[in-house]
């Protein structure tokens, strides 16, 4: 009987200190913007002096981490990276880029990963750029004409979502906004290119064990209008990964089994006496 008790204690230790369950979420999005045209009054602007007076590109990247579990810190880790390139050349955030002309491309590439062992562990991997324009057009009455900036964009992304056990959750999301600010009027126009309701922008593996790897591509176009003499664009992207693992207690049946073994040990001792 002593051997059975030893086996039970070893099983409890293995349950408490065995391989810890984890939930892992990974996303790798790349989005490319191509400036296809700059128009004045619906016609392509052919005079360089009419536009692009100050189109220097400034870039930046960063991340935000979250660790939470029932009012305490979740246990796990995050990692990620981000880069911004102009016409295929990766830009230094401390230096920025050059003038942006029709036909030029801007690309944001992000990687975000969150691994949870207990509670919620999440990461927002951020990347973006700001580039400005001066409007030198003249409508003949001392005012500027409206400049329209036409862009094509394409997004490709891969993801990997893994839960060791059912009941955990792995979640990814990618979002990009483009904002145009007209300094003359102070008006900012914002476009959400990949809203939460868009197909494929949210992927999750919830309450199920295993691994899934959804991904895909999408593309489109948009136009931004600058009516004033000076303004700038902001492109902001966020790759979010979120993983959650419930605390897994030793099952009640194991403890009941153990108490039964202990009772048998006591009975065996009384018979021996």
DSSP annotation string for 204-237: EEES--EEE--EEEEEEEEEEEE-SSEEEEEEEE
**Coil/strand/helix, residue 126:** strand
Cβ-count burial 151-184 (b if 16+ within 10 Å, e if not): bebebebebbbbbbeeebbbbbbbbbbbbbbbee
Model pLDDT, residue 247: 66
Look at 271 and 139; give whichever has higher pLDDT: 139
- State how far the Cα of 74 lies from the Cα of 78, in Å rounded to an integer: 12
Model pLDDT, residue 56: 58
| pTM for this model (two decimals) | 0.78
Residue 193, Cβ density class (10 Å: 0-12 exposed, 13-18 middle, ≥19 buried): buried
99 phi/psi in degrees, rounded to 5: -65, 140
Model pLDDT, residue 239: 92
**Residues in CB range of 44: below 8 A, 6 or more apart:** 37, 38
DSSP state of 37: E
Model pLDDT, residue 44: 77
pLDDT digits (tens, 9 = 90+) for 50-78: 554 445 567 777 889 999 988 888 999 99
pLDDT digits (tens, 9 = 90+) for 213-230: 988 888 999 998 888 888
% of the chain exceeding 70 in pLDDT: 73
% of the chain exceeding 90 in pLDDT: 33
pLDDT digits (tens, 9 = 90+) for 82-110: 988 888 887 777 767 777 788 989 899 99
User: Which run of H or E residues covers position 266?
Assistant: helix 252-272
- Contact between 100 and 35 under an 8 Å Cβ cutoff? The reply is yes
- Contact between 226 and 180 under an 8 Å Cβ cutoff? The reply is yes
Q: What beta strand segments (E) does 41-104 contain?
A: 43-44, 57-68, 75-86, 89-90
**Gyration radius from the chain CA atoms:** 28
Model pLDDT, residue 84: 87
């Amino acid at each position: 009987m002593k051997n059975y008790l030893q086996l039970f204690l070893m099983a409890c230790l293995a349950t408490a200190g065995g391989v810890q369950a984890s939930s892992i979420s990974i996303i790798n999005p790349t989005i490319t913007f191509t400036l296809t045209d700059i128009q004045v009054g619906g016609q392509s602007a052919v005079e360089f002096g009419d536009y692009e007076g100050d189109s220097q590109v400034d870039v930046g990247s960063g991340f935000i981490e979250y660790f939470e579990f029932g009012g305490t810190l979740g246990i796990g880790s995050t990692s990620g990276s981000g880069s911004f390139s102009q016409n295929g050349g990766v830009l230094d955030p401390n230096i920025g880029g050059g003038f942006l002309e029709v036909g030029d491309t801007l690309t944001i590439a992000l990687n975000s990963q969150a691994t949870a062992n207990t509670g919620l562990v999440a990461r927002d991997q951020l990347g973006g750029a700001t580039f400005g324009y001066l409007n030198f057009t003249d409508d003949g009455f001392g005012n500027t004409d409206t400049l329209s900036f036409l862009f094509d964009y394409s997004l490709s992304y891969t993801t990997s979502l893994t839960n060791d056990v059912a009941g955990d959750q792995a979640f990814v999301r990618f979002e990009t906004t483009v904002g145009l600010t007209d300094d003359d009027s102070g008006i900012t126009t914002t476009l959400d290119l990949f809203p939460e309701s868009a197909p494929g922008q949210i992927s999750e593996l919830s309450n199920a064990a295993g691994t899934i790897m959804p991904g895909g591509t999408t593309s489109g176009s948009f136009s931004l209008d600058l009516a004033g003499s000076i303004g700038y664009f902001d492109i902001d992207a966020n790759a979010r990964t979120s993983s959650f693992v419930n605390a897994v207690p030793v099952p009640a049946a194991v403890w009941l089994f153990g108490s039964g073994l202990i009772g048998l040990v006591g009975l065996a001792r009384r018979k021996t006496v």
